[in-house]
Amino acid sequence: MHDHDHSHGGHGHTGPGHAGHAGHSHGARHAHAPASFGRAFAIGIGLNTAFVIVEAAYGFASNSLALVADAGHNLSDVLGLVVAWIAATLSQRPPSPRFSYGLRSSSIMAALFNAIFLLIAVGIIAWEAVHRIFEPQPVAGGTVMVVAAIGVAVNGFTAWLFASGRHGDINIKGAYLHMAADAAVSAAVIVAGLLVILTGWQWLDPAVSLLIVAVITWGTWGLLRDSVTMSLDAAPAGVDPAAVRDYLQSRTGVIEVHDLHIWPMSTTETALTAHLVMPGGHPGDPAMRDICEALETRFAIHHSTLQIELGSGGCPMASANVV
């Protein structure tokens, strides 16, 4: 005999014809970008798109690979902001019979695409930079400094747009940190332009571009790793499956936990399913709601589905090797 226990925002639902009761745990603190940040996304994307065009144009005109590399970096900002905005928008769409979780996982797909795209782009920039180190070409250092200074202003202002929401929303925090870091990268380009003017060492420009490539690759590699693991339904890095199992095992009446699955529904939401063997019977709705709420507050698992088993027969899912 199996009882299925869930709770929906604190409300239990009893399915007709079932021995137990059905429901799901949905937290009230989902990490979606609030609608009020739509304007911030629009302004940030507009400003950074315009700056990418200006920076790339002046980079080619002034023969500065550092500016071109930074333009590529800022293009990644635009893509990152677009992905965050799309993810925030899609995450608010209601589920449908075909897409029972809505379109939450589209943010994972977009992150994987961006990571691959950026690694290809930085590979091209790195190839050209190495070539220029051995065959330096004249660079207009003054132009480089002016354009990069504009980049500091654009990136700094865009970061400020998201500053107020960075503590309560992981999507907003990601946008904030990305833009703040890019303001620092543009500052490094200013230093490169100044050093070229002071020393005449033209190789400094491609050297700085390689440094920028390293920064982009470092951040992008993490994005690629996380997006790949999330697309394979791996438990999010911030959730310890062993700790979750121990918590469920410690609940009153639970003698065994099996068929435990923890996976990301999106880049901001986590789901869980598990079988709890409780020979003493169903503990009641309040107890199950307490478990679901604890899973959310302690482990940031927003959507929990728990199946109660009375232990009267072997469950085909009891083996750890069975999915």
Of 231, 257, 275, which marks where a domain is finished? 231
Q: Is the pLDDT of residue 118 over 50?
A: yes
243 plus 188 within the same structural domain: no
The verdict on residue 200 lying in a domain is yes
154 plus 251 within the same structural domain: no
25 plus 92 within the same structural domain: no
The verdict on residue 223 lying in a domain is yes
202 plus 280 within the same structural domain: no
The residue type at 17? G
82 plus 165 within the same structural domain: yes
Question: What Rg do the C-alpha atoms of the chain give, in angstroms?
Answer: 25
Q: DSSP per residue over 61-119, as a string? A: HTT-HHHHHHHHHHHHHHHHHHHHHHHHHHTTSPP-SSSTTTTTTHHHHHHHHHHHHHH
149 plus 79 within the same structural domain: yes
Of 197, 231, 265, which marks where a domain is finished? 231
Q: Please report where in the chains the tokens 């604190």 appear, as a residue.
A: 10
Q: What's residue 9's pLDDT?
A: 39
14 plus 103 within the same structural domain: no
The dihedral built from the CA positions of residue 231, 234, 240 and 246, taken in this order, carries a sign that is positive
Domain count, the chain: 2
97 plus 207 within the same structural domain: yes
162 plus 299 within the same structural domain: no
Compute the mean pLDDT over every residue in the chain, rounded to the nearest whole number: 77
HSE-up of 307 (CA within 13 Å, CB side)? Answer: 16
Of 231, 258, 282, which marks where a domain is finished? 231
pLDDT in tens, 174-233: 677 778 777 777 777 788 778 888 888 878 777 887 887 887 788 778 778 888 888 898
Domain range for 78: 35-231
More confident call, 160 vs 189:
160
Distance of CA 173 to the CA centre of its chain: 10
Q: What's residue 119's pLDDT?
A: 80
pLDDT in tens, 21-72: 333 444 333 444 444 577 888 998 999 899 889 888 888 888 877 678 778 7
Q: What's residue 13's pLDDT?
A: 33
8 plus 87 within the same structural domain: no
What integer is the mean pLDDT of 75-95? 80
